[in-house]
Amino acid sequence: MDVTEQPATQKKKNDTIAAQISKILSQRIIAGELEPGAKLRQDHIADEFGTSHVPVREAFRRLEAQGLAVSEPRRGVRVASFSLAEIREVAEMRAALEVLALRHAAPHLTRAILDEAEEATHAGDNSRDVRSWEAANRKFHRLLITPCAMPRLLATIDDLHDASARFLFVSWRAEWEARTDHDHLAILAALRDGDIEQAANILTRHVQWIGRKPVTSPSGKVRDAFAIVG
């Protein structure tokens, strides 16, 4: 083997491992398995994945770029916390971008797509836990905007839904109350009537609704938790 190729080959391998590590850690953070403030220990993660520290450090950088982790001097890397202001920011971004996608998608929405979106809404209404509701809710929104055929826009919206899911799972994972999503049904009714403006207005309001509920921490302290429930 040409020795000049070896560093490049090793870097590619490290990048591949780093991508796998960051993907798994991001899934744990979004699911609430790794709570805000939890320390990400480089040694432990390297041992878990059977690798060196190099791809782990790269994985941490990727998590920081996603806003899922923060690096603090003398404290290492921790799972990022989030504030009500950040939740509102994500809600406003979702409203702007999902409406943009919907306007481009609307002319291409078929009856079959709208029927499938209605089925997703009913699945969400009948969900008994927050995870199944989030999956059904995400499916509803994705069905309505995918026909916009704008991959960069859709990828950004997917990232915002990941952030929404994280807020939701951290705040609501212990308890969930089934409810009927009247906004979803109203959006579908407007789209079936060809009233894109009405559908856009409802969607704008819908994704900016932030739920609030008291939650009890492991220490017994009660605090208000917030999440995007739309």
Q: What is the pLDDT of residues 33-84, one digit of tens each?
A: 888 888 999 999 999 999 998 999 999 999 888 778 888 888 889 888 778 8
56 touches 46 (CB < 8 A): yes
Q: What share of the chain is helix, strand, coil (3-state, %, to 5)?
A: 65, 10, 25
End-to-end CA distance of the chain: 55
Tell me what pLDDT residue 26 has: 85
For every one of its 230 residues, what pLDDT tens digit does the chain have, with 9 covering 90 and above? 444 444 656 666 767 888 899 989 988 888 778 888 889 999 999 999 999 989 999 999 998 887 788 888 888 898 887 788 889 999 999 999 999 999 999 999 999 999 999 999 999 999 888 889 999 999 999 999 999 999 999 999 999 998 888 888 877 665 666 677 899 999 999 999 999 999 999 999 999 988 776 666 555 666 667 778 88
183 touches 139 (CB < 8 A): no
Helix (H, G, I), strand (E, B) or coil at 218: coil
Q: Could you write out the three-class secondary structure of 145-166?
A: HHHHCCHHHHHHHHHHHHHHHH
**d(Cα 77, Cα 69) in Å, to the nearest integer?**
7
**Residue 45: which H helix or E strand, with range?**
helix 42-49
